[in-house]
Structure 1
Amino acid sequence: MEHTQRRPAGVARASSGLMDGLQRWLPKLVVAPTFLLVGIGIYGYMLWTGVLSFTNSSFLPSYNFVGLEQYAKLMESERWIVASWNLAIFGGLFIGICLLIGVVLAIFLDQRIRQEGAIRTIYLYPMALSMIVTGTVWRWILNPRLGLEKLMHDWGWTSFSFDWLVNSDFAIYTIVMAAVWQASGFVMALFLAGLRGVDSSIIRAARVDGASLPVIYWKIILPSLRPVFFSSVMVLAHIAIKSFDLVMAMTAGGPGYSTDLPAVFMYAHTFTRGQMGLGSASAMLMLGAILALLVPYLYSELREKRHD
């Protein structure tokens, strides 16, 4: 009798242990395929690209290692130098102008103005468009034969000229204009969310002390939004370094290769010129540029959390 009474208790314990194990491992089993695909599709191919950058691969992968030869060719390439310089111009202006416009618009909307929702929607709308659509629309607007210049001529201002899109010295600035138009609303939304999170008692106390509203924003509120600044810069820099579709839609890298960016250079040499090794080396340098921005940011954030 004692034996028959103990058996159900043992079975219950075994069943309970099985259920506990299943509950513990089931979530891991569910997400395991996703992690596997991410590991292979992202990090695996990043590693593979790094390997190819040390080979003389052409149209197809080749594992004849040549050391740093592809990186040396890259540094000697005039087109790569132009692309890197364009990235410096594009990235600097894109990030700076987006931050300026975003902060000004966020402060303006933070005054609880009428029709705030409509104005916010108007400035956020470009983010709903893809870069291809943005590039196509701006190519039409800036095309001297059918855009802004033609419109001014039809209105009687025949001396008006705006040929930046086809001028190799100014074409890169048209890319900046289109990118700023699309991304500044996103920066505005980030800063507006940050401003709405500031304790209103701080503003009231500063006003009691006699501080004007511009001084309050400049010396008190904006310095407290340092994490928002960092996040905005990281996102915008990531967009700038990876910009490809906007350039291809507007100029395809032209006139000549005056609007080439590293992403366009990588595509052209990997998929159209059969220089996979050189294209892989350029991709690794782009990855290095992103990591050079991301790693210090993550380090500073983790360091602050440890101190907190």
Structure 2
Amino acid sequence: MARSPISQFSPARWLERRLPVIVVSPLFALSLFFVYGFIAWTAYISFTPSGVMPVYDFQGLAQYERLWATPRWYVAIKNLFIFSSLFIAISMAIGILLAILLDQRVRAEGLIRTVYLYPMALSFIVTGTVWKWMLNPGLGLQRLMREAGFENFTFDWLVNSHYAIYTLVIAAVWQSSGYAMALFLAGLRSVDDEILKAAAVDGSSPWKTYTSIVLPILRPVFLSTVIILAHLAIKSFDLVVALTGGGPGYATDMPATFMYAFAFQRSELGVAAASATMMLMTIIAIIVPYLYSELRKTA
């Protein structure tokens, strides 16, 4: 005799099938509220005349007009372009070079890999503080060289408004180039050895093998590395605060520090929200094409 659907119902089996959804749902709801909900709130505040406190009267694009009429914002955009361009290019160049060297199965590879990856384990606050000590003309490299007998040695980039932005590049490259190395090394290790053996049999030199065969294969790794490093560059805040404080003056201001200054120091919440929305649009403009290309490959 067939059993009815009701008699086949088992609370234990029902709970087992739905347990993942039950566990994940609260976390998903909280993420939806605290992440995407506040993103939407910030975007709306950018269209209001908010000052010290939020005001919910819709004003249109007035805050964006004020933002783009502020000279300090243009300094932040220029610094972001300089910083991100140099940071991404140098980190990737060092990363691929180190990855190729380690791919030769050198001795103490594990130790070398750990040494270069260690900075990534530090927070940008720690990195910025250490490099601030090292680059301080009265405490660090300049003083050390002068005490060593080089009386005319000068390295005052940290307090020079024309060169201070490059100290951020130095510190950021030191911290992130090891991470780029790890990504490229993983990509190199995924290349089929048969391809390399065939290239060697054909008489291809190591340089030509890497430039003509291996590196083109690593195109997805290059793209992923650019996306990750660009994301780090756009949201740079703690490194700037710890190393330069946005100074001298606001010579090393970045969009993130600009937003903080206008929100919590100048009490112009609407302008700060507009700058945050512009940062979000920049990140979206980078990530969406990447996701689109990846989805097309899997379709």
Q: TM-score, normalised by structure 1?
A: 0.95
2:280 to 279, 287, 296: 287
Identity of aligned residues (%): 58
How many Å separate the matches in 1 of 2:199 and 2:274?
Answer: 54
1:15 CA drift (Å): 3.2
Where does structure 2 lack aligned partners over 5 or more consecutive residues? none
Deviation of the 1:10 alpha carbon: 4.7
Task: Indicate whether 1:50 and 2:43 are aligned.
Answer: yes
Partner of 2:90, secondary structure, is: helix
Aligned to 2:268: 275
| 2:289 equivalent in structure 1 | 296
Number of aligned positions between the proteins: 299
Q: 1:138 aligns to what?
A: 131
Separation (CA, whole Å) in 2 of partners of 1:32 and 1:243: 32
Matched, 1:116 2:146: no
Aligned match for 2:163, one of 170, 173, 183: 170
2:28 maps to 35
Instruction: Name the counterpart of 1:259.
Output: 252
Deviation of 1:22 (Å): 2.7
Separation (CA, whole Å) in 1 of partners of 2:9 and 2:93 = 62
Alignment of 1:1-308 (within 5 A): 9-10=3-4, 13-16=7-10, 18-306=11-299
Larger radius of gyration: 1
Question: RMSD value over aligned CA atoms?
Answer: 1.3
Residue type at the aligned position of 2:15: L
CA distance in 1, matches of 2:211, 2:205: 10
Partners of 1:147 and 1:294 lie apart in 2 by 39
- Residue 105 of structure 1: how far off its partner (Å): 0.2
Summarize deviations over 1:118-168 as a string: whole Å, max 9, x none.
Answer: 111110010111000000000000000010000011011010000000000
Q: CA offset at residue 84 of structure 1? A: 0.2
- Report the Cα distance in structure 2 between the residues aligned to 1:187 and 1:145, rounded to whole angstroms: 33
Residue range with higher mean Cα deviation, 163-172 or 25-34: 25-34
Q: Measure, in 2, the Cα distance between the counterparts of 1:284 and 1:11.
A: 53
Structure 1 residue runs of 5 or longer lacking an equivalent are none
* SS of corresponding position for 1:191: helix
CA distance in 2 between counterparts of 1:143 and 1:169 reads: 16
Q: After superposition, what is the alpha-carbon deviation per residue over 1:191-213, rounded to whole angstroms, capped at 9, x for unaligned?
A: 00110111111011001111100
Return the offset for 1:23. Answer: 2.8
